[in-house]
Chain A
Amino acid sequence: MTAHTEEAGVPAPTVEAAGDAPPRTDRSERLSALAQQHGALVTLVIAMVVASLSFDTFLTGDNLENMALSSAFLAVVALGMTFVIVTGGIDLSVGSLFALGGVLAAWGSRYGTVVALLLPLAVCGLIGLVNGLLIARVRLAPFIVTLAAMLGARGLLLALTDEGSRTYLVDKESFLATLGQGTLLGVGVPVWITLALFAAGAVALRRTRFGQYVYAVGGNEDAGALMGAPVARTKITVYTLSGLCAGLAGALNAAWLASGVTILGTGMELEAISAVVIGGTLLTGGSGFISGSLVGVLLLKVIQNVINQIGSLDSAYQQVVSGAFLAVVVIAQTWLGRRRRVL
């Protein structure tokens, strides 16, 4: 009995395979890494070329502008989510916070633009902070904490709007409306804000000590702590950032729509997670990059746009294609990741 178990337990084939591999390791590994990091970008370029060849209506100013704007709001949410996922966590509350931020901005707009912007940031940032504290200090699972925040924030939103029956409007003349609907050099202001935020986010993750801590916490928490990374503080910061991003995106979206729409944001956490994963960030944490998430968002939006262009296909097919696409990306990522580990 014992002999049999031992025999089955010896991982002989793996050892042999690893022994054969060294000569090719370097090139193979680099190719896998490249595919994992830039696969989304290549796919995006191909999708855009195919789309513009197939539909005359794709490469028009209006269509591109629409896509850029609708991408911008999701992209800001995905930016915060990227930091969270790189630490190995997840934030399911962003959809609710997006809607809450929008309603708070619209409600606050009657007291001026400053209130309209600071209120959603304060409330959503605070909820993110509470998420972070529960996860980092009380050590509860991120998945379940942010799930509770998702329910709680949606409840708060409903309480604010008489169970969702009341809609607050944004004054069309206010500076907030300009922020949402205005254009600069022919491109919408939200798009510029998004680009600026992504530039700042990329610098923060790649070039600052905080960014190093984020990678260290996600790579191996214990090792990170031993090297002197402030694990709890880093986690609290990323969840607060994620809440702030979701609230800001919601506020900008409300400014763009000129009203705080209560039903927005459902399923947005999934879209954001999809975008981050498609962009090459591993859900296991410790690796990933900001620009990938932007590419992921654009890719999702181009796919949705193409399906809309086909016309006869409705939003149901959008979901089928997005889901299938996510599955393919994740399988490819897992496969490439495993290849790198084995070699």
Chain B
Amino acid sequence: MTELAFTRPSLDRARLLRLLQEYGVYAGVLVLLLFDVAFTPHFLSVENFRTQAVQVAPVLVVALGMALAIGTEGVDLSVGSVMALSTSLVSLYLGYGPWIAVLIAVAGGIVVGVANGALIAFVGVQPIVATLALMVAGRGVALVLLPQLKDVRDPGMAALGSGAVLGVPYLVLIAAGLALLTAFVVRRTTFGRQVLAIGDSRPAARLAGLPVGRVLVVVYVCCGALAAVAGVLATARLSASDPTSLGTLMELSAITAVVVGGTPLSGGRVRVGGTVAGAVLIQLLTTTLIKHDLPPSWTQIAQAAVIVLAVYAARERGRR
């Protein structure tokens, strides 16, 4: 017992930074919540919480896929374009019924994921460049399919967008379910361990006989499919397809959520809980600033500051 007490490290600066990185995002959410409860008018209402949760759902779903990609020391810049592609496909195939339309939209995301994954895993292109190409081309394809905004009038999509079980909106349930599923995959499955091993060191993973190429392709397929699901959710919420603007800058929001949530950009680690908290933190930050009559420009500046702070905290850990 005494020995244990002896070796326990003191609370020095590096340890504080590590704590900040581990739990900073939860502390941030808590502080913002307390601030909002105290100072933001009309914050404490069921209706407000529901609105916030519904708004955060698509971002969170995209961020889950992004967390997997970042876990392999990669990144997926094409997620915003995949959302646009997905919303176009939903509108285009809604005539065959909502289920078929949604399936086709998700299939579109999977196709993009396969292309990303193949470029990265088998051609050896850097993730940022491979997904850059599909970011540019993907939105182009989305706009070719559906050149402008189109209203979505379908009872199925409307139910998805505004329906709820016991007061919890479907959108929130789906996002939460996907988060739980991702956490399970990362922690409890062989695939999850392979993802982390590849992120730790790709050569080592290869020498250990892991199917590196296959795992990378599956990761980017997950990323594409989740982005497509997010596109469907956003379409249902807005009851409109807008391929021009849906998902623009979504890759940045998703990366921010993941990084702020404590997943290091250097891979080898995926924090699903942190990613959820990161997405919530950004949403709360935006709402708080807007509700206190600060212009949207401040939100962007604040978001930039939060990103730098988060990677700064992560840096100390990475060095040790």
Contacts and interface: CB of A to CB of B under 8 A. Distances in A.
A, B assembled together: yes
Contacts of A338: 124
B177 interface: no
Main secondary structure of the interface of B (DSSP, over half): helix
Contact of A317 (B132, B140, B308): B140
A150 B301 CA distance: 9
Contacts of A145: 308, 311
A314 interface: yes
Given A138-B312, A334-B125, A317 B144 contact: yes
Contact of B123 (A5, A138, A326, A335): A335
A51 interface: no
Given A151-B252, A270-B135, A277 B119 contact: no
Nearest to B126: A283
Main secondary structure of the interface of A (DSSP, over half): helix
Contacts of A274: 132, 136
A277 B75 CA distance: 18
A187 interface: no
B207 A138 contact: no
B300 A154 contact: yes
Interface stretch (B25-33, B60-68, B290-298): B290-298
B104 to A, nearest CB: 19
Contact of A320 (B141, B255, B308, B311): B141
Contacts of A138: 312, 315
B304 A140 contact: no
Contacts of A324: 133, 137
With most chain A CB atoms within 10 A of its CB, the pick from B75, B209, B301 is: B301
A284 interface: yes
B299 interface: yes
Contact of B315 (A139, A267, A270): A139
B136 A323 contact: yes
A145 B300 CA distance: 14
B129 interface: yes
A321 B138 CA distance: 10
A266 B133 CA distance: 16
A5 B209 CA distance: 7
A138 B308 CA distance: 11
A159 B311 contact: no
A318 B132 CA distance: 15
B97 interface: no
With most chain A CB atoms within 10 A of its CB, the pick from B139, B296, B299, B308 is: B308
Nearest to A158: B297
B311 A141 contact: yes
B198 interface: no
B82 interface: no
B300 A319 contact: no
B57 to A, nearest CB: 22
B133 A330 contact: yes
A128 to B, nearest CB: 15
A331 interface: yes
B259 interface: yes
B136 A159 contact: no
Contacts of B218: none
A145 B309 CA distance: 10
Interface in A290-340: 314-324, 326-327, 330-331, 334-335, 338
Given A141-B265, A277-B129, A323 B297 contact: no
A323 B137 contact: yes
A144 B132 contact: no
Contacts of A53: none
Nearest to A266: B248
A132 B295 CA distance: 28
A72 interface: no
Contacts of B44: none
A158 B300 contact: yes
A273 B136 CA distance: 12
Nearest to A134: B308
A159 B147 contact: no
Given A147-B307, A156-B297, A323 B140 contact: yes
Contact of A330 (B125, B138, B209, B301): B125
Contact of A331 (B125, B136, B312): B125
Interface in A118-165: 134, 138-141, 143-145, 147-152, 154-159, 163
17 contacts: A8-B209, A138-B315, A139-B315, A140-B312, A148-B305, A151-B300, A152-B304, A154-B300, A155-B298, A157-B297, A274-B132, A283-B128, A322-B137, A323-B136, A323-B137, A324-B137, A330-B119
When A and B form their complex, which 5 residue pairs have the shortest distance between CB atoms, in order from nearest? A323-B137, A319-B140, A155-B300, A158-B297, A316-B143
Given A5-B209, A159-B298, A326-B133, 15 more contacts: A140-B311, A141-B311, A144-B307, A150-B252, A152-B300, A152-B304, A152-B305, A155-B299, A270-B132, A314-B147, A316-B140, A322-B140, A327-B119, A330-B133, A331-B119
